[in-house]
Every structure is written in C-alpha cells, then in structure tokens.
A and B are shown apart, each in its own frame.
Chain A
Amino acid sequence: MLYGINEITGMTETYSIESKELTKKFGTFTAVDNITFQVNRGEIFGFLGANGAGKSTAIRMFCGLLTPSGGKARVAGFDVFTEREKIKQNIGYMSQRFSLYEDLTPIENIKFYGGIYGLSKQQIKKRTESLIDQLGLQKVRNTLVGSLPLGWKQKLAFSVALVHDPGIVFLDEPTGGVDPVTRREFWEMIYEAAKTGTTVFVTTHYMDEAEYCDRISIMVDGRIEALGTPAELKTQFDAITMEDVFLKLARPEH
C-alpha cells in the first residue's frame, strides 16, 4: 500500500480519507456542502443518503474524477486537487454496473486490469492465482464472464477492483439486485478485505447492510448530518433500526 507523507505533520498518513470542508457547486447549486470527516485505515465506512443527497458527487471527487469547488481532501494520501492521477492509481472502484469484459474469462479480466494498473508480468501471475484461489473461482476460471451468474460476476468485479492491492476501495451499491444469500457472501468478502487492512468505502440502499459497517455517515442535502457507529446513531436518534435513523434524517416531517 502506498501512502504519502502529510506535508504539515511530516507523518505517514493514518487516514484513508481526510475531508475538510469539501464543497462542490454546480452553478448556483451546492451539491456537496462543506463536508468534514475522516475514514481510518482498514475501516468499513458506510456512505449513506437519499437519492440526490450528493453522495455520487462526493464519491467522484474522492476518486479523482471531479475537481472540488472548495475545501480540502486527501485520499490514500493524495490531494484531490493536485494529485488526481495518483489517486486513480491508488484506489479501487466497483459499481453495480460491473466494469468487466463479458467476452473475456475471469483470468483474462484480472490480467487485463493488472496490466492497466501497471503490474509486472510476474506480479500479475501471482496476483491472478491468489485472487482466483481466494474467491473460489477455480471452476469458472476459463469460462466467459458473460455466461456467469450475477453472483460470480460480482465477486470477480470485486477482485478486479483489488487487483493492484489498493489501500482503499470504493463500492458504489455493489449488492443491488443480488439474491439475499449472495449478498451476504459478498459482505463476508468485504470483511476479509478489511481484515487485511484495505479500507472499504461503501454505499447501499439496503439498511441492514448499514449495520455491517464500522461507521456510517448519512448525507442530507449535500451535508453530512450524522456520523458514527450504527449503535451510536441508533442511540442518538432514539431508533431501533438503521432504517428508522435514515427515515428520521431524510424526511424529518414523518
């Protein structure tokens, strides 16, 4: 894992994401409004919010795809204003629309992404074998991805996002539409990745999945209105489930 040195403290970064008053405006509309928070290394961080709350805009800034209008943020030790290319090289990303090549096999997909991230031939070989092994993809290693069931594709997409051993991986609604058993198997993979020190930044519309995170933030109208462990948030909002917390925040009139 590559981490930069903080220019102010001269220390190795301890946070995977450090956001200070980060803001994005589109014309007169403020999509992300002064968000400040940190994500610890190895943490599973749930990034929640209603549609249109500003989650996607924030994620695009953290992934180096969009320049912020103001504030500061570092991701994997790199600055979101000046080191966007470095960020892209040092993070993993997976969305519900898996970026896999359907007419390639799992092995070929891993090799291809390994090449894109600049891994050496030897590294690619080693990484491919260990990923195929870890994910239990041996049986389908030479099957075209297009003919694999959704659950397998999802596991493969996750491993491809981790192919260059990034310090942090962004998962944007990774479990949408997946059956309940596969959804849980996927979360076990997330736990495994976090155990080995990978930071996981995840969005979801399944409120039970919010409970699986170490900490959660909830965005409302561009701002982070709640931040804490699931237990803390339930206490703070006097709620039994995370769904109640979410409802209270996103539609206070209810």
Chain B
Amino acid sequence: MILVRDIEKKYGDVVALKKTSFEIQKGEIFGLIGPDGAGKTTLIRILTTLILPDSGSSEVMGYDVVNDFKKLRSKIGYMPGKFSLYMDLTVEENLELFASIFGTTVEENYELIRDIYEQIEPFKKRRAGNLSGGMKQKLALSCAMIHRPEVIFLDEPTTGVDAVSRKEFWQMLKKLKAHGITILVSTPYMDEAGMCDRVALIQNGSIFTIAPPDQIVSDFGRHLYSIRASKRGDLIHDLRNYQFTHSVFIFGDSIHYTEKRKTTDIKALHQYLENKKYTEVEIEQIEPSIEDCFMELMK
C-alpha cells in the first residue's frame, strides 16, 4: 500500500531524513515513533505529496508521490499535527466543507465516521475554535476520513492530549482498521507502540528498527531488572557507579537496570546495595517496554 525506496531529505545542511526504505501493507497500523525533530513530519509530508524528497522514490496506493501527486491527493486522508480545521466554522460546517472539497457528501460516507462523529455531534453548531483539544482531534479525524480514503496519514494526533483521550483515540483507530483502512500514524509517546501492528523507531532522521512491537521487545538482548529501595534519588547514582552496570534509567516508581555481563548476579547486586546502606531492596526481572528498547537503541 505504501512503498518507500531510499528516500532522503535535507533542509540546507540539516539532514532531516537519512536514506530510508520500507513498505506498509494494506490494512496495517504502522507507527512512526520518535521525539520532536526525529524526521516524522518530513516523512509524512513527502508521502502526502506536500514536499519533495531530495532523492529516492515512493509510491502510495500504486501512485508515485512526485509524478502522480494530483491523483494521489484526492485518494488519501491526512491529519496534520496542527489540526487543519477552520476555527470560525462550526463542527458541521467543517465536515461539510471537507466533504464538498473531495466531491462527496457527508451522508454518503457517514457510516465510516459514525462512531467518531457521534461523540461530537451534540456540539455540531459550535465553532471548531471553541472545542476542547480532544473534540478538535475527533473532528479533524472525521474530516480526514469523510471521502473514504484507503490510506490515512496522522501526524502526531495525540500530542498534548491527556492519557484518557489518547486511549480513546487509539480505540477509534482500531475501528478504522477493521474497515480495512491502512493507517500511518506518528507519535512521540512510546507507550502507544503496543497499539500498532508494526512500528519504526526514529531519531535524528534515521530509523533504528522497523518491526512488530513484540519483536522489538524480544530483540532487546539483555536481562532487564526493576529495582526499588529506600532513598530513590541516590539509588540512581549508586547504581551508575556499580562496576557491572550497562544502563540505569528511572521509570515511574522504580529504576530499570541492565548489566554488561551476560548473566546478572542478583546476589552481588543486592550485596552492593546493602553495603551502601539501602533497605527494602527489591530486584525483579521484567519485560522491557518499547521505551526501554528505544533508549537502548539510542546508546
């Protein structure tokens, strides 16, 4: 459905996207995961025909993103980071406008967006500018879907949105996937990787890895331990100074730790911390999260 071959993009001296190649299958939810400035938006803009790559080629639904851009634009859905809504039009007017631009009507494709639109319908006479962040996000998604595209590109749809609204948004994406729609979505939130079929982890213009999330986790390659003890603040420093330490990161209410050695000697680690006068030391082996994997790949 989406084909990327050796795409590269520079802005002056800054390399926004290093040579990148991958494919996305029909009906996949493909996550582009990385921090600000990683190159996510550049890649999405190339695939949505808004900017030209410096080299390489790409096809979406069989159309070349450079030569067939006109045809392609009417076929794809796109939700940019700053939602492309008309703030001085009402909810209803925005939806109608997007439908008419794409030569269709709201009625014709209502089935597809029903689940999403029903949540904002009580506010259909309200101007888009007066909606909350979560509601704007739902309206922007409805507008991006109103012409029944087979592929949609969502650029950071959940940025700045609270944890609850983010969860609801991903449930909506799952429903769109059930309609056979291919979804490319970017996000800076690592915990959203689990909702994708495959993810690309990206930073500084290069993709570390592309794989299903559970495979990324199984490729972590080290035993990961969660450590808790009294005096958490100093625990980080003391663990960093331990001779066998490979990585130490604070993670919620515990610290995630890996060793340089193949097999971690838990007893020795316990002893080390007890010698440092820590009490209530708990060391537990855990499954890495995508965030653990991302930080390991950054090393």
Cβ–Cβ contact B35 & A178, under 8 A: yes
A residues less than 8 Å from B159 (CB atoms): 176-177
A residues less than 8 Å from B129 (CB atoms): none
B211 within 8 A of partner (CB): no
Cβ–Cβ contact A181 & B161, under 8 A: no
A184/B250 contact (C-beta < 8 A), A173-B160, A177-B159 known:
yes
A222 within 8 A of partner (CB): no
A176 vs B81: C-alpha distance when bound (angstroms): 14
Cβ–Cβ contact B37 & A180, under 8 A: no
Cβ distance B250 to chain A, nearest Cβ, rounded Å:
6
The interface bits of chain A over 105-116 (1 if a CB of B lies within 8 angstroms of the residue's CB, else 0) are 000000000000
B134 within 8 A of partner (CB): yes
The interface-forming segment of B18-26, B163-171, B177-185, B215-223 is B163-171
A184 vs B161: C-alpha distance when bound (angstroms): 20
Cβ–Cβ contact B233 & A184, under 8 A: no
Cβ–Cβ contact A205 & B250, under 8 A: no
Cβ–Cβ contact B35 & A250, under 8 A: no
- Which of A181, A182, A242 interacts with B252 by CB under 8 Å? A242
B132 within 8 A of partner (CB): yes
B117 within 8 A of partner (CB): no
Cβ distance A144 to chain B, nearest Cβ, rounded Å:
14
Closest to B190 in A: A180
List which A165-181 residues lie within 8 A (CB) of chain B: 173, 176-181
Chain B binding surface, main DSSP class: mixed
A55 vs B212: C-alpha distance when bound (angstroms): 37
The interface bits of chain A over 72-96 (1 if a CB of B lies within 8 angstroms of the residue's CB, else 0) are 0000000000000000000000001
The interface-forming segment of A3-11, A17-25, A46-54, A117-125 is A46-54
A residues less than 8 Å from B133 (CB atoms): 51-52
A231 within 8 A of partner (CB): yes
A residues less than 8 Å from B166 (CB atoms): 205
The interface-forming segment of A32-40, A63-71, A127-135, A206-214 is A206-214
Cβ distance A79 to chain B, nearest Cβ, rounded Å:
31
List which B30-44 residues lie within 8 A (CB) of chain A: 34-38
Closest to B253 in A: A211
A179 vs B190: C-alpha distance when bound (angstroms): 9
B: number of interface residues (CB 8 Å): 32
Which of B164, B167, B233 has most A Cβ within 10 Å? B164
A102 within 8 A of partner (CB): no
A176 vs B162: C-alpha distance when bound (angstroms): 12
The interface bits of chain A over 235-254 (1 if a CB of B lies within 8 angstroms of the residue's CB, else 0) are 00000011100110011001
B242 within 8 A of partner (CB): no
A149 vs B260: C-alpha distance when bound (angstroms): 29
Cβ distance B236 to chain A, nearest Cβ, rounded Å:
8
A150 within 8 A of partner (CB): yes
A243/B163 contact (C-beta < 8 A), A180-B190, A180-B294 known:
yes
Closest to A187 in B: B250
The interface bits of chain B over 261-299 (1 if a CB of A lies within 8 angstroms of the residue's CB, else 0) are 000000000000000000000000000000100110010
A230 within 8 A of partner (CB): yes
A sample of 15 cross-chain residue pairs with beta-carbon separation below 8 angstroms, ordered by A number, consists of A50-B162, A51-B134, A51-B165, A177-B36, A178-B188, A179-B35, A179-B203, A180-B294, A181-B249, A184-B250, A205-B161, A207-B163, A212-B250, A246-B163, A247-B164
Further 20 A-B residue pairs, CB within 8 A, beyond A180-B35, A206-B189: A51-B132, A51-B133, A51-B162, A52-B133, A52-B134, A150-B37, A173-B160, A177-B188, A178-B35, A179-B38, A179-B203, A179-B298, A180-B294, A184-B249, A191-B233, A205-B162, A205-B166, A231-B253, A243-B163, A247-B164
B-to-A contact residues, CB < 8 Å: 34-38, 132-134, 159-167, 188-190, 203, 233, 236, 249-253, 291, 294-295, 298
Q: What are the nearest 5 A-B pairs in CB distance?
A: A177-B36, A179-B35, A50-B162, A211-B252, A208-B252
A-to-B contact residues, CB < 8 Å: 49-52, 96, 149-150, 173, 176-182, 184, 187-188, 191, 205-208, 211-212, 230-231, 241-243, 246-247, 250-251, 254
